[in-house]
Structure formats: C-alpha cells, structure tokens
Amino acid sequence: MSMTDEELYAVLSKLPDFDRYPIPESWYAKFNIPKPKILTMMESFTLARASADAPGPNVKTEFRPRAEGGVRPLINVEVPTLECTPVVDEPETAEDTKGK
C-alpha cells in the first residue's frame, strides 16, 4: 500500500519537528513550503554546539532553590596530581621494515 504525496504530507506535517526532516524537492513548490536557508559557518557551529549541549528528552533537569546566603559550600577533595612521562619512539631500522 503506497500513500500519495498529499496523504504523506498530511501525516508528516503534524510532527512537531517536521521542518527538520528531509523532503522531496518537488514538495517545496507543491505544498508551498519555504526552503531551509543555508547556514553560515558560524551558525552551523553554534547549532552543532547547542545540539550537543542540550539534554535529551528523557533527562530531568534539577532546579535547586537559592542557597542560604547565596553561596553553596564547596566539597573539599584532594587535588589530583598529574605526571607526564614523555615516550620517544626509536627510529626504524632496515631490519624493522623488512616484513612490511
């Protein structure tokens, strides 16, 4: 059973994020849908960052009342130490590259 363009458009256009779905080129003129604008590079980066930072639909956001005095106490934890050990690759010799 295949649906006509009109039937399919009627179903899809009821979705809250219908404007984000890819649709056939012919639908823009047929159903008088404005074409999406092309984003600038900065707009694209901003949208990508906002999408990545947004919590998912199933993530509860916790709202806390204002703390007494305006500042919440910090938890005292030991500051971790960081050690960096450089590892220098040995140069390859003719023996090392024979099997490659």
Residue pointed to by tokens 């009821």: 14
Q: Tell me: the pLDDT tens digits for 39-98?
A: 899 999 998 888 887 777 777 777 888 877 878 777 888 988 999 999 888 877 767 666
pTM over 0.85: no
Q: How far is CA 72 from CA 41, 76, 77, 79, in A?
A: 39, 13, 15, 20
**Hey, how many other C-beta atoms are within 10 angstroms of the C-beta on 36?**
11
- Position with higher pLDDT, 6 vs 98: 6
